[in-house]
Each structure stands twice: as C-alpha cells, then as structure tokens.
Amino acid sequence: MTHPDPKPDEPTGRFAYEGLERIFHEKARLGIMTSLVTHSRGLVFADLKDLCQLTDGNLSRHLQILHEAGFVEIWKGFHKKRPQTLCRVTEGGRQRFLEYINVLETVVQDALKAASGSPSSPKLAEGWSPI
C-alpha cells in the first residue's frame, strides 16, 4: 500500500472546513434547502415560508440567490386565479447540498470527539495575565 492513511480532504490544516460553501452555510438557506430536499416534488412559496418561518421578502431574496446559483428551480403558475410560485431543488443543488452536509457532519464529529475527551481547564503557569 502506498497510502497507509489517506485522509482525502485534509491537505495540511485541521479545522479549516473549506468545504463549507457560503451559499448553504446560512440559517435561512439551510432550512430552505432541507425543506426542498425533503419535499422533492417541490413546495409552493407560502408553504416553504411557513416551514422555514421566514418573511416573504426574506424567502424571496434567498430563493433568488439559490436560483441564480442553479440550486433551485422556480416555476410560476396559478391556483384559484392567484399567482403561485413553486420551488424545487435541482439535481445539482441536491448533490452539492449533500456534500455540504457531509462536511457539516465532520464538524459535528470533530466537536463531539473533543467534548468527550478533555474535561476542564488547568491553571496557567506564571507569567500570563488575562485580557
């Protein structure tokens, strides 16, 4: 074997988390993407808004961003003579989001590993002063 312990995604620095794509790493958009991945047939604007507890303007802007990135499709239609917007995640969006989620999983693992280990902080040697 050439590589006893490959560790594919960690060139040099630990805890750098380069894979945490900015576009997904945002409370509101995390909720939107999770909602859309969960409901693969799509969600109308109002339902998505309720699921994610967002205001209209807010959801609109985030959807615009995700759409420009090619991660969600936006379809316009009508329901009872009122306009309706249907949102669906694209296949690419789905994949990239799940990659992001994998990185997030390693973050959680790292943190929990640390938590189980060291209990509490010891005193410092002389010569250090706070603040």
Partner DNA sequence: GAGACACGCTTTACTCTATAAAGCCGGCAG
Partner DNA sequence: CTGCCGGCTTTATAGAGTAAAGCGTGTCTC
Token pair recorded at residue 129 = 């002063």
Token pair recorded at residue 69 = 């990135």
Residue 30 CB, nearest distance to DNA (Å)?
Answer: 10
Closest CA to 61 of 21, 32, 96, 90: 32
For the segment 67-126, give every residue that binds its own copies (CB under 8 A): 73-78, 86, 88-89, 91, 94, 97-98, 101, 104-105, 107-108, 110-115, 117-122, 124
Query: 43 by DSSP, 3-state: which?
Result: strand
Torsion over CA of 46, 47, 48 and 53, rounded to 10 degrees?
A: 80
Please report whether residue 14 would count as binding its own copies according to CB under 8 A: yes
Binding site for its own copies (CB under 8 A): 12-18, 20, 22, 25, 27, 30-35, 37-42, 50-53, 73-78, 86, 88-89, 91, 94, 97-98, 101, 104-105, 107-108, 110-115, 117-122, 124, 127-131
